[in-house]
Amino acid sequence: MSSSPLASVLFVCVHNAGRSQMAAGFLSHLAGDRIEVRSAGSVPGDQVNPAAVEAMQEVGVDIADAKPKILTTEAVQASDYVITMGCGDACPVFPGKKYLDWALEDPAGKGVEAVRPIRDEIHKRIESLIAEIDAQQQA
């Protein structure tokens, strides 16, 4: 077990109730403590989308206890990667950070059937992100 994470990743969407929570859940599940994971929203919701929780439980990832959080400048400053998912211009930009914008459909108001393809796309992107972070460490 390493003493410090390889990288720190912040996922940002508007409500921090669906896409960013699923992404954070996958990254924590797949990378463990090798990568520090944060998520936040520019206008956080009251709770994580129940359809997102159910869709994640189907693949063995529990995000039921996750709580939407407000996006802070400190969270961005403390992260190596900032991955936005439809938060627009609300995300502050700092030099030296890697910014990625993942165009993903918003699962808000959708049932679990509609959330599954979004979940699966996030899963693929998280696997690629982990491979990129691992490759950076070996370079």
Rounded Cα gap, residues 117 and 13, in angstroms: 18
User: Residue 39 catalytic?
Assistant: no
Catalytic member of 87, 129, 130, 133 = 87
Whether 85 and 23 have beta carbons less than 8 Å apart is answered as yes
Whether 63 and 35 have beta carbons less than 8 Å apart is answered as no
Catalytic member of 7, 10, 12, 13 = 13
User: Residue 70 catalytic?
Assistant: no
Using the structure block, give the residue that is written with the tokens 């912040």.
10
User: Residue 91 catalytic?
Assistant: yes
Listed in order, strand segments (DSSP E) in 30-131 are 35-41, 81-84, 98-101
Catalytic member of 12, 23, 31, 91 = 91
Whether 7 and 80 have beta carbons less than 8 Å apart is answered as yes
Catalytic (active-site) positions: 13, 87, 91
